[in-house]
Each structure stands twice: as structure tokens, then as C-alpha cells.
Amino acid sequence: MIDPRRLRILRAAADHRTVTAAAAALYLTPSAVSQQLAALEQETGHTLLTRSGKGVRLTAAGAILLEHANAVLAQLERAEAELAAYAGGAAGEVTV
């Protein structure tokens, strides 16, 4: 199973185009980002990024996974928002 935390890291790497910038955006070390991206590549069995100089670019497989990652992460964010609304009393079942 693909770890959603690693999908967030993939998205950050794609958005920022460097491991260092992705790490800064996620409050992680560049080493941690690199390790998580390597683990995601291992999980999927595909090379997801090409490294050129200090930058990174998505491979075709990486672009496919990023598209799905965006959908998965959006759904997780909606779930978190609904749970927060429920916990705050703004959503739920009312009986009279």
C-alpha cells in the first residue's frame, strides 16, 4: 500500500522542483525527503523522479502517480474537515 505521507512529499517535490525546497516547505530535512522518495519508488516499483543537478523532474510514472496523489490527498483533506466539523458540533445527527 502506498503511504499518503509519501504522496505529500512527491507533490512537494513536483511543486518545488528541488529536494531542498520541498524539504523546507514540509519542515523536513533534505535527507528525509530523499529517503521518503526512494521508499515511494520502492513501494511502487517505478522511478518517479529524475535528478538533474540540484533539481528534480517527474518521470511519466511520477506524473501518473501525482495525478492520483492529488485526488487521494484532496479526499483525505475533505475527510479531516468533515471530522473537524463533527467534533466542533457543526455537523452530525440531531434528534428531538
**Pairing status of strand 49-52 against strand 55-58:** antiparallel
How many structural domains does the chain have?
1
94 — pLDDT class (breaks 50, 70, 90):
low
* Beta strands, E only, 1-96: 49-52, 55-58
40 and 32 Cβ atoms separated by less than 8 Å: no
95 located within any domain: no
Q: Provide DSSP, 80-91.
A: HHHHHHHHTTSS
The reported pTM is 0.85
96 located within any domain: no
pLDDT digits (tens, 9 = 90+) for 10-57: 999 999 999 999 999 999 999 999 999 999 999 999 999 999 888 999
Q: Which three cell numbers stand for residue 63?
A: 506524473
pLDDT score recorded for residue 48: 98
Show the domain range for 21.
4-85
Dihedral Cα 5, 35, 57, 48, nearest 10 deg? -70
93 located within any domain: no
